[in-house]
Amino acid sequence: MGVTSRDPLELLASYATGPDAYDEAVAADGSPRPAALAALAAVAGHDLDVLADCLMEDMAAMGMTFRSIEGDERFTVDPVPRVIAAEEWVRLETGLAQRVRALNAFVVDVYGQRRIVSEGVVPERVVETAPYFEPLMDALRPPDDIWIGVAGPDVVRTASGEFQVLEDNARSPSGFAYALAIREAVTGRLDGAVAERARPLDEAPDWLAETLGAATPAVATRAPQAVVLTDGVHSAAYWEHRWIATQLAIPLAEQHELEQHDRRLWLRPPGARNRRRIDVIYNRTSTDRLDSPLGQLLREPLRAGTLGMVNAFGAGVADDKLTHAYVEDMVRFYLGEEPGAALRADARPRSPGRARGGARPLRRARHQAQKGLRRHRRGDLPGRRRR
């Protein structure tokens, strides 16, 4: 049954809150939180069932699906925007960016001097037993020491309203393109009332472009070329892969289109007579191990310094449950800072296992890990055409 109202308070008349979860829109006394009031007012003027159906149609019109072994899954979109106050988001964003900088420094150290181990901050077993530790990447120095170009921390909110990171997802996180498309659809259906107050995300493709630009090897030519690597149309997030390649105006390729000659990587699409040299690869395949056909193809160009990769093989050493327990120590050790107050510390696990939760999931926060390391102009993305 649809619900239509002009007053957010009428919309919330039968809405119940409880002590076991933090509601970002409604306070414990049932009143709208100030930051969410505009969004609730925008929704209150619509029939919620009709609004939800329209959003489903919008997703279908965009061809947006998430593939699984059971088949294509349509997106179910909550028509009520989830709002975080600007000042609260600044604290969260600062804490997450700090966290990723520390994790990147940890990966640099793991494949270098391992000071954090020799100085007793992190036990050696944390490194040596990490499932995605790659010993063959020892002494490798990616451009600007960027191992984690894109990170996807899983953020939850506890019943008390504190933010907590359950996972750091430093291998090949996905989802940000879906979030951008859904936000555009929701704000469009709400007649722009929410978009006027929301922080713009129009620059998100440029942030990714900067990350790929920063991963470009120093030996690259004046017109370096990047590529998005996918497993193909059967990949779970293929819609996002195609969206990224389109937004950045760079090729979308599969492994069988890549060749390695003279310690350089080349792209030769089916039927093409000429090949194109590749300088940066954005790996969105399901392969995140060096001991794989893809790893064998890329290893020599990576070690020769002729190829940059986002995220690099071996970055997954930072994406482990035992590693997760020491991230705050890494912040202090590498950055000389105290961990961001916006993120609550996890209890340190004694053995690998899922972090303890009891928290309400927050949509995955996407952050460019090394956005501030090296700034690139819009036209400097490898292979990107100026508009």
Residue 385 lies in a domain: no
Q: Is there a single domain that holds both residue 17 and residue 148?
A: no
Indicate if 48 and 132 belong to the same structural domain: no
pTM: 0.84
Residue 92 shares a structural domain with residue 47: no
- % of the chain beyond a pLDDT of 70: 83
| CB-based burial, 86-118: b 16+ in 10 Å, e otherwise | eeeeeebbebbbbbbbbbbbbbbbbbeeeebbe
Query: Is 2 inside a domain boundary?
Result: no
On whether residue 81 sits in a domain, the answer given is no
User: Same domain, yes or no, for 64 and 143?
Assistant: no
Q: Which among 74, 100, 128 is the end of a domain?
A: 74
Write down the pLDDT at residue 99: 95
pLDDT, residue 69, reads 60
With respect to residue 92, please indicate whether it lies within any of the assigned structural domains: yes
Whether 233 and 258 map to the same domain: the answer is yes
**Residue 363: per-residue pLDDT:** 35
Residue 33 resides in a domain: yes
- CB atoms closer than 10 angstroms to residue 133: 19
Mean pLDDT (whole number) for 161-171: 92
Kindly state whether residue 209 falls inside one of the protein's structural domains. yes
Co-location of 346 and 201 in the same domain = yes
Does pLDDT of 170 surpass 90?
yes
Of the segments 6-20, 103-117, 134-148, 360-374, which one has the largest average pLDDT value?
103-117
Please say if the pLDDT value at position 96 is more than 80: yes
Higher-scoring residue by pLDDT: 386, 231: 231
Picking from 17, 39, 74, the residue at the C-terminal end of a domain is: 74
Would you state the pLDDT for residue 15? 80
Residue-wise pLDDT for 52-68, tens only, equals 999 989 988 888 876 66
Given 74, 101, 131, which residue is the final one in a domain?
A: 74
Tell me how many domains the chain contains.
2
Residue 179 lies in a domain: yes
- Structural tokens at position 273: 């007579």
Half-sphere exposure of 298 (CA within 13 A, CB side): 31
Task: Give residue for tokens 């089916």.
Answer: 270
Q: For the segment 311-327, what is each residue's pLDDT rounded down to a tens digit?
A: 999 999 998 889 999 99
DSSP letter for 281, please: E
* 222-241: pLDDT as tens digits: 789 999 999 999 898 999 99
Query: Do residues 14 and 135 share a domain?
Result: no
Q: Which of 188-202, 278-292, 339-353 has the highest mean pLDDT?
A: 278-292
Sequence letter at residue 173: P
pLDDT greater than 60 at residue 91: yes
Identify the band that residue 362 occupies on the pLDDT scale cut at 50, 70 and 90: very low
Mean pLDDT of 196-202: 86
Do 250 and 318 have their domain in common?
yes
32 and 155: one domain? no
Are both 63 and 136 inside the same structural domain? no
**Six-digit token pair at 210?**
């900067």
38 and 162 in a single domain? The answer is: no
Q: Is the pLDDT of residue 359 over 70?
A: no
Of 266, 264, 241, give the one whose Cα is nearest residue 255: 266
Whether residue 274 is found in the same domain as residue 328: yes
Burial of 328-353, coded b for 16+ CB within 10 Å and e otherwise, reads: bbbbebbeeeebbebbbebeeeeeee
- The domain of 283 spans 86-380
* 348 part of a folded domain: yes
